[in-house]
Amino acid sequence: MGGSLALGLKGKCAALYGIDPNPATLEVASSQQIVDYASSDSAKLLPEVDLVVFAAPVPAILTLLESLPALTPNPCIVMDLGSTKRLIVEAMSRLPERFDPIGAHPICGKEKLSIANAERTLYYAAPFLLTPLERTSPRALSAAHQIIEAVGAKATILDAVEHDRILASTSHLPFLLSSALSLATPQDVAAFIGPGFKSTSRLADTSSSMFLGILQTNQENVLKALRDLQSRLTEIESALAEKDFEKLESILSAARDKYQAFMRLSRTDK
């Protein structure tokens, strides 16, 4: 996500600095000129910037926010790309007054991580959710909107708590569903896997270390989404077990109607 954002912003801002603890990532960022300067030394680069974007797993963002005041004495806008927002916004609210924080979450990305999979057009036409704090200044909000416009995304402002409730159903639950499908499928059927299985199970290829932080920081909402899904699966299972094919057809038709409504609304939003 960070590499794709840098590619999308290249040539559209005064300078781009990249900070990462992985030497291989820094090498790619420098050799491919994704950023103007790359380093693992946060204390060296952070005092040079007026806006910092944290593109990392949620637990890492929380740690970085705690360490930020010690790394730079300078005032700056602080933005993140984390997949859950409530705890991040709470951590941002505890930053010293010299920082101007705003939460953010682009609704895009791939199951393949690392800078090697960065794409300049990743953010194009994607929803980019902003979760401002009460202390977020008009300047920080304007800067976030400028970034979003520069990469071709579409900004929407959302409360952090509401964000986590919504994403539990639209992002976090699909990952668990993909994982469960992969685990439930016998190994000996691999040769017969088709596009339906591949598209449904694709998210299971996401790094578990990254998604674990998402589940830890949105546990209550994800559990509710899981229970709602289990209720629907039980309803389908019962109709099939009882050979009530009329009820089963009704359930599947309702699901198709709801899916089509989702797609219509999605196209309208764009």
pLDDT of res. 245: 97
Tokens 């602080």 -> residue: 78
Angle between the 2-9 and 138-150 helix axes, to the nearest 10 degrees?
80
Q: Is 97 helix (H, G, I), strand (E, B) or coil?
A: coil
Residue 30, pLDDT > 90, answer: no
Residue 138, pLDDT > 90, answer: yes
Q: Encoding tokens for residue 200?
A: 């449904």
Choosing among 3.40.50.720, 3.40.190.10, 3.40.50.300, 3.30.565.10, the CATH entry for 2-159 is 3.40.50.720
Q: Encoding tokens for residue 18?
A: 């990249």
Confidence at 270, pLDDT banded by 50, 70, 90: low
Residue ranges of domains in the chain: 2-159, 163-269
Which residues have C-beta within 8 Å of that of residue 11, sequence separation ≥ 6?
Answer: none
The pTM assigned to this predicted structure is 0.91
Q: How far apart are CA 12 and CA 6, in angstroms?
A: 10
Q: Is 178 helix (H, G, I), strand (E, B) or coil?
A: helix
Confidence at 35, pLDDT banded by 50, 70, 90: confident
Q: Of 69, 74, 68, which is closest to residue 47 (Cα–Cα)?
A: 74
pLDDT of res. 121: 83
Q: 164-186: per-residue pLDDT in tens?
A: 999 999 999 999 999 999 999 99
Q: 62-88: per-residue pLDDT in tens?
A: 999 999 999 999 999 999 999 999 999
Which CATH architecture does the domain made up of 163-269 adopt? Orthogonal Bundle (1.10)
Q: Average model confidence (pLDDT) for the chain? A: 92
Angle between the 219-241 and 208-217 helix axes, to the nearest 10 degrees?
100
Confidence at 224, pLDDT banded by 50, 70, 90: very high
